[in-house]
Structure 1
Amino acid sequence: MTRKPSLTLLLGVTILTMIGCSNNNQNTSETENMETTVRSVQKQEVNTRTFVDSAGREVIVPTKIKKIAPSGPLAQLVLYTSSPDLLVGLATPFSTEAKEFIDKKYQNLPNFGQFYGKNASLNMEALSAAEPDVIIDIGEAKKTVKEDMDKLQDQINIPTIFIEANLKNMPETYKKIGDLLGETKETEKLSKYCQKVLKQADSVRSSLKESDQKRIYYASGNAGLNTNAEGSFHAQVIDEIGAKNAATGVDIVSKGGGTLISMEQLVQWQPDYILAETKDVYELIKTDESWQELTAVKEGKVYQVPTAPYNVLGSPPSVNRIMGIQWLGQLVYPEQYKLDIEETLKEFYSLFYHVEPTSEQVKTILTNAQ
Structure 2
Amino acid sequence: MDKKSKIIIGILIILVISLIAVNVFLTPSSVKSNENHTITDMANRSLTVPESVSKVVSTSPPITTILYMIAPDKLGGMNFQWTSDELKYVPSQYQNYPNIGGWYGTQTGNYEQFLATEPEIIFDSVDESGEVSDVEDRQKKFGSIPDVAVYDDTNITTMNSPIEFVGKVVGEESKAKELNEFNEKNINKVESVAKNIPDSERKKVYYAESTDGLSTDPSGSVHGQLIDLCGGKNVADIGNSNSSSSVQVSIEQVIKWNPDIIITTDSEFYNGVYNNSKWSNIKAVKNHQVYLSPSSPYKWFDRPVGANMIMGVPWTAKVIYPDKFKDINLKDETHEFYKEFYHIDLSDDQVTELLKNSGLNETNM
Q: TM-score, normalised to structure 1's length?
A: 0.81
SS across alignment from 2:150: strand
Aligned to 2:117: 130
- The answer to whether the 8 Å contact 1:98/1:308 transfers is yes
1:221 counterpart = 2:210: yes
2:115 maps to a residue whose letter is S
Contact 1:307 1:365 in 2 (8 A): no
Matching residue of 1:176: 165
Secondary structure class of the residue paired with 1:200? helix
Contact preservation (8 Å) 1:112, 1:126: yes
Distance 2:114 2:263 in 1: 39
Give the structure 2 partner of residue 330 of structure 1: 318
C-alpha distance in structure 2 between counterparts of 1:128 and 1:304, whole Å: 38
Residue 93 of structure 1 corresponds to 81
2:294 maps to 306
> What is the SS of the residue equivalent to 1:275?
strand
What percentage of aligned pairs have identical amino acids? 29
**Structure 2: which 5+ runs fail to align?**
1-30, 361-365
Query: 2: distance between equivalents of 1:292 and 1:100?
Result: 33
Look up the match of 1:119.
106
Deviation at 1:172, TM superposition (A): 2.4
Equivalent position SS for 2:244: coil
Counterpart residue number, 2:146: 159
* 3-state SS of 2:101 partner: coil
Report the 3-state secondary structure (helix = DSSP H, G, I; strand = E; otherwise coil) of the residue aligned with 2:200: helix
In the alignment, is the contact (CA less than 8 A) between 1:93 and 1:107 conserved in 2? no
Partners of 2:300 and 2:309 within 8 A in 1: yes
State the partner residue of 1:188. Answer: 177
In 1, Cα distance between the equivalents of 2:231 and 2:149? 30
Asked if structure 1 preserves the Cα contact closer than 8 Å seen for 2:59 and 2:104, the reply is no
Which aligned pairs between 1:351-370 and structure 2 lie closer than 5 A?
351-366=340-355, 367-370=357-360
The answer on whether the counterparts of 2:43 and 2:130 sit within 8 Å (CA) in structure 1 is no
Corresponding residue of 1:63: 51
Task: Give deviations 1:55-74, integer Å, cap 9, x for gaps.
Answer: 22222211222210011222
Instruction: Indicate the RMSD between aligned Cα atoms, in angstroms.
Output: 2.1
Alpha-carbon deviation of 1:174? Answer: 2.2
CA gap of 1:320–1:117, structure 2 versus 1, over 3 A, is closer
Counterparts of residues 210-249 of structure 1 (less than 5 Å):
210-249=199-238
Structure 1 distance, partners of 2:41, 2:350, is 38
Q: Which has the larger radius of gyration?
A: 1
Secondary structure at the residue paired with 1:303? strand
Measured against aligned partners, the alpha-carbon deviations of 1:106-141 in whole angstroms (never above 9, x if no partner) come to 221222211x23412222222222221111135x72
Q: Give how far 1:84 is off.
A: 0.5
Task: Confirm or deny that 1:103 pairs with 2:98.
Answer: no
More helix by share: 1
CA separation of 1:225 and 1:291: change in aligned 2, threshold 3 A: same
- Contact 2:209/2:215 (8 A) holds in 1: yes
Which residue among 324, 331, 335 is the counterpart of 1:342? 331
Offset, 1:353: 0.3
Pick one of 63, 82, 90 that aligns with 2:70: 82
Moved more, 312-321 or 174-183: 174-183
Asked if 2 retains the 8 angstrom alpha-carbon contact of 1:241 and 1:329, the reply is: yes
Distance 1:245 1:205 in 2: 14
Which of the numbers 135, 139, 148 marks the counterpart of 1:149? 135
Secondary structure, counterpart of 1:132 in structure 2: coil
Per-residue deviation at 1:294? 1.2
State the TM-score, normalizing by the size of structure 2. Answer: 0.82
Return structure 1 stretches of 4+ with deviation > 3 angstroms: none
Q: How far off its partner does 1:278 sit?
A: 3.0
Query: Any idea what SS the aligned residue of 1:335 has?
Result: coil
Helix, strand or coil: the match of 2:278? helix
How many residues matched? 323
Which consecutive residues of structure 1, in runs of 5 or more, have no partner in the other structure? 1-42
- Residue 260, structure 1, aligned to residue 230, structure 2: no
Q: Give, in angstroms, the shift of residue 142 of structure 1.
A: 4.2
